[in-house]
Amino acid sequence: MAPGQGIFAHREPDGTLHTYVALQRPLDWIAGVEASGPAALGRIAREFEGWAPALTALITDGETAPVFRPIHALPAGHRWQRTPGVTLLGDAAHLMAPAGDGANLAMLDGAALGQAIAANPGDTETALAAYEEDMFPRSAHAAAGADEVLQACLGEDAPRSLVDFFDSAFSTQ
Ligand SMILES: Cc1cc2nc3c(=O)[nH]c(=O)nc-3n(C[C@H](O)[C@H](O)[C@H](O)COP(=O)(O)OP(=O)(O)OC[C@H]3O[C@@H](n4cnc5c(N)ncnc54)[C@H](O)[C@@H]3O)c2cc1C
């Protein structure tokens, strides 16, 4: 990891090495690289000039075409006025940078919404209000944490900031 960019890899259960390359660049730069077709991997690798060849090989020696995923986020603490008969859950309610929480929160939202509806038979408005009352602070907390992880991984002090992040996480346990 370094300011604005990083290479992340993990081994899948079948032994496949799966690589994510993170680049904080303008959307039109990313679109241009995506449009360059077979040249895309070389263009991405050039952003990592001077990095260890074993790391840049994770970009250049891939066996599948890259998948481009722009990362969007709602502001931490995003909320809305109660609207009768309607609510949101999962990413639609609290889209945040990936930090290991999004799928878990989406499933938790679904379970919490189901519980709220079951606890208020025939009174959907009370159920939706109760669900949102718990969901807003829960997701705001997670979104702030996701921003912190993103900053630790790709901010100005990366990778030192990530080491500090883990140090402080483990020292408080
Ligand atoms: C690179 C990356 C890594 C991630 N890693 C993790 C992780 O390690 N752990 C974790 O917990 N989370 C992770 N996440 C986040 C996680 O993937 C999401 O938070 C989660 O998928 C949100 O679930 P959801 O059901 O709210 O939305 P989605 O999974 O986006 O599901 C929405 C569905 O609605 C469909 N849809 C959209 N529009 C319409 C329409 N008009 N009509 C019908 N269907 C429609 C879409 O096709 C999609 O299938 C990661 C995300 C990214 C991008």
Report pLDDT for 38: 87
Q: Where are the domains of the chain?
A: 5-60, 91-171
DSSP 3-36: TTEEEEEEE-TTS-EEEEEEE---HHHHHHHHHT
Residues of the chain above pLDDT 90, percent: 91
Angstrom distance (rounded) from CA 113 to CA 111: 5
- Indicate if ligand 1 lies below 6 Å from the C-beta of 103: yes
Report the mean per-residue pLDDT for the chain: 95
Ligand 1 atom with the smallest distance to the CA of 71 is 53
For the stretch 104-113, pLDDT in tens is: 999 999 999 9
pLDDT band at 173 (very low <50, low <70, confident <90, very high): low
> Do the Cβ atoms of 121 and 133 come closer than 8 Å?
no
For the record, the structure tokens of 102 come out as 């999004």
State what percent of residues in the chain have pLDDT above 70. 99
Counting ligand 1 atoms within 8 A of each CB, the residue from 8, 30, 91, 94 with the most, and so the one to mutate, is 91
**Is this structure's pTM higher than 0.75?**
yes
Asked whether residue 120 carries a pLDDT value surpassing 90, the answer given is: yes
**CB contact at 8 A, 130 and 119:** yes
Closest residue to atom 32 of ligand 1, CA basis: 91
Ligand 1, atom 9, lies closest to the CA of 100
- List the structure tokens of 149: 């992880």
The position carrying tokens 């990778």 is 159
pLDDT in tens, 43-75: 999 999 999 999 999 999 999 889 999 999 999
